[in-house]
Amino acid sequence: MTSHTHPKIDAFYEFLDRPIRLGARIVLALLVIPMALSMTQPLWRMKMVAPQYPHGLQIDVYTYKLAGGNHDHDIAEINELNHYIGMMKVNRESMSDLSWLPFAFGLLIVIALRAAAIGSVRSLIDLSVLVGYVAVFSMARFVYKLYTFGHFLDPHAPVHIEPFMPVVLGTKQVANFTTHSYPLTGTFLVLVFAGGIFALTAWHLLRGYRERWGGSAAATK
């Protein structure tokens, strides 16, 4: 018994197995550089400014650590303030989600280099899906972690405040503190990598459509 598939489906599967174009391989290999550099740069900054702290207290988030301003003294000061409202301490343990980021970023680098060396269009699409998943999942976990900081407050704390959502991006007033949260160099380097991967994938798909289906569609008219 012989199975038959649609010619366009056969053409699509054949297209997926085509090697990545040489120019795209070079670009793909170069995109690894900003991704690797992002692991050495801060991804995000959270800063708190108040009348008693005119210069602000800040925390920078890296893939592998938290770094506070004023030689890390800002983290201790923030944790002292958090104690009064019953918020959990900001430290490596409470931000354990950081532990998987170096592994995830390193894995993306390895897969990108493999695709640049011997990859097909299929591997490029797989890489795009994986990059999108890591980006969405890491941001979602970051938002959830901020949610837990602002909502799981100790009811026996000296100062009682209503649960709140810390600012994720932008500026927000909490009590007498103006809090700021915004991306830093590491995040922009990741965006360069991700944007480049998505652009290469879209270019291959568009080029493949024009070669495989655009021409055949025009010929049938």
Q: What is the pLDDT of residue 6?
A: 66
Q: What is the pLDDT of residue 5?
A: 62
pTM attached to this predicted model: 0.87
Q: Is the dihedral of CA 19, 21, 24, 30 positive or negative?
A: positive
CATH class of 7-150+164-219: mainly alpha
- Chain segment 142-158, per-residue pLDDT in tens: 999 999 999 999 888 88
Residues of the chain with pLDDT under 50: 1-2, 216-221
Helix (H) or strand (E) segment spanning residue 61: strand 53-61
Return the half-sphere exposure (C-beta side, CA atoms, 13 A cut-off) of residue 90.
25
Q: What is the pLDDT of residue 220?
A: 40
- Chain segment 39-50, per-residue pLDDT in tens: 999 999 999 999
The dihedrals phi and psi of 171, each to the nearest 5 degrees, come to -130, 140
Q: Where are the domains of the chain?
A: 7-150+164-219
| Cβ atoms within 10 Å of 209's Cβ, excluding its own | 14
d(CA 25, CA 30): 9
